[in-house]
Amino acid sequence: MRLSRLAYACAQVIKVGTSSLVRPDAGSLNLSNLARICETVRDLRAEGHRVVLVSSGAVGVGAQRLGLAARPADLAQRQALAAVGQVYLMRYYEDFFSALGLRCAQVLLTLDNLAQRGQYLNASNTFRELFAYGTVPVVNENDTVAVEELRIGDNDTLSAQVATLVRADWLVLLTDVDALYTANPATDPAAQPIHEVADLSQLHVDTSEGGGQWGTGGMATKLTAARLATAAGCAMAICSAAAPERVAAIVHGERVGTVFWPLPHALRGRKRWILSVPLRGELWMDAGAVRAVRERSKSLFSAGIVRVSGDFAAQDAVRLCDAEGVEFARGLCNYACSEVERMKGKSSRDFAEELGYVGSEEVVHRDNVCQLTQRRPSSDASHGHDVHGGRGGNGVSPEDVAGRLALLRTRGGAHDGAARPAMPHTPSTSQLGLALDGATLDGGRPGRGDPAGGGGGGSGGRDGVAQRLELLKQRGGGLSGQCASDDVETDGWKAEMARAIAAERSAEDSPSAAVVGSPGSLLVGREADVTDEGWLPE
């Protein structure tokens, strides 16, 4: 194994909502805030991160350019506004990123691009090449050509699907609130912030209010995005777009906004793709079937189904819900809705008599089930106060090492000693955001270093290694105490990581067994799965 494969690289998806880009009073683009967001991307790139920007605002900008005072209700009109606004929105991004020495690329996706396995893989390859070229992909839904039945609908969900597509470590939603609250803080004075969510199934908040005048989202869509992202092994955060520079603080482990921790056993490969398949119906299950599917990872049989809704065909994706209609998983159904309706509550042995033929005995096979929730240590999801105390310096208990292993890569913020040179830059002081309310940049390209280079850690490889070692120590899965000091060399870090990966590979024949290295080494309590780049599980 080449130790160069251990070079640190963190992929981040940042979603910017319409409310963060368009002023609700005038319907005009907030160029000052847009500039600060671009500077945040610049700073993250300088630390060695790969960044994808999912940007809303095309309809709002289009309405501004055409002099409209309100968002139209007609789909065709919104699509026309999106066609107008997307051009101007990308012009602003190109101007700002060029001034910061970066190149950007436009990626417009539809639900069909993500639902078809072949197109999904092709899109994944495209993002990989865009990263290799050193660009910042700016993503939006292709509203102009999407039909109502095949629309993703909101960019919160789109950003979660993009995070799944690029195997991101972090998804950050920049919005008009600073965190997730138990209710809308603008209308409910008793609303309390929620700083950490470890189990979405235990989350109790009021999400009845939708998005703003120009947007399509709301807190409900953000929770849907959290279910998709965390199931794919991606941590998600909600924070205020008024201070986009705090995204770096989230990645570095500071308590900002609301953090949703990923599931300990993240979905991989084909199951990641299933999360992007459009949903066509729901299957409600009795308590026994829920326990079998959710806790024992079994297939779903017809005897455990109590209710069927929707209009789906065989091999369509459906929600798997408990008896109260709460979704906990998704899967590809082997039968059409009319067939499942006839077979619900009955044994699979009766298929021939009821359907006239014998098909698969499973309604949803376990290989096609994607878990969205999992029993986890309690969080402050149902409380209004901070419960970080007693859980370590960054709010994560050492017992959660297996579940947090994928997050260890996201905390260092810099490459190791073999990292690329840092892109010349100054700390973000919103220098682009000063006095930009009424004008845009001219697209000049000053010589600011190689924008394709990405950049390594500003403090050098050794400092980056020490920082990651300290975070490993805080997370409960780090190296031994003497290895957490500043004098640990890069080679020692690589050797330790190499031993952990070698131990994982030796356990491939027994994927459920925990792998323990030398005393104080990384503890891997999850299925053995080393990526093609030689990194630890995602």
Are residues 305 and 337 in contact, defined by beta-carbon separation less than 8 angstroms?
no
Structure tokens at 423: 């892109």
pLDDT at 239: 92
- What's the confidence (pLDDT) of residue 420? 36
Torsion sign (Cα): 374, 375, 381, 385: negative
In angstroms, the CA 420 to CA 100 distance is 18
pLDDT of residue 242: 87
Separation CA 443–CA 235 (nearest Å): 34
Between the CA of residue 253 and those of 40, 163, 235, 258, 397, what are the distances in Å? Answer: 16, 19, 12, 12, 13
Per-residue pLDDT of the chain (538 residues; tens, 9 = 90+): 322 322 245 899 999 988 888 887 666 788 889 999 999 999 999 999 999 999 988 888 888 888 887 778 888 888 899 999 999 999 999 999 999 999 999 999 988 888 888 999 999 999 999 999 999 999 998 888 776 655 677 889 999 999 999 999 999 999 888 888 888 787 888 888 899 998 887 776 665 555 444 344 477 888 889 999 999 999 999 999 888 989 988 888 888 899 999 988 878 888 888 888 888 999 999 999 999 998 888 999 999 999 999 999 998 999 999 998 888 999 999 999 999 998 899 887 777 677 777 778 899 999 999 888 765 444 444 443 333 333 333 333 333 433 444 444 444 433 333 333 333 343 444 455 444 444 433 333 333 334 434 444 444 444 544 554 455 445 443 333 333 333 344 455 445 555 555 555 555 444 443 333 333 333 333 333 334 443 333 3
Nearest residue to 48 via CA among 405, 408, 407, 410: 410
**What pLDDT was estimated at residue 6?**
24
DSSP state, 211?
Answer: -
- b or e along 436-461 (b: 16 or more beta carbons within 10 Å of the residue's beta carbon)? beeebbeeeeeeeeebeebbbbbebb
Cα–Cα distance measured from residue 380 to residue 260, given in angstroms and rounded to the nearest whole number: 11
Predicted pLDDT of residue 169 = 92
In the chain, what are the domains? Answer: 11-265+414-453 (3.40.1160.10), 270-371 (2.30.130.10)
CB atoms within 10 A of CB 245: 16
CA distances (Å), origin 286, targets 307, 324, 339:
9, 9, 19
pLDDT at 127: 96
Give every CB contact of residue 43 below 8 A, 6+ residues apart in sequence: 245, 248, 425, 427, 428
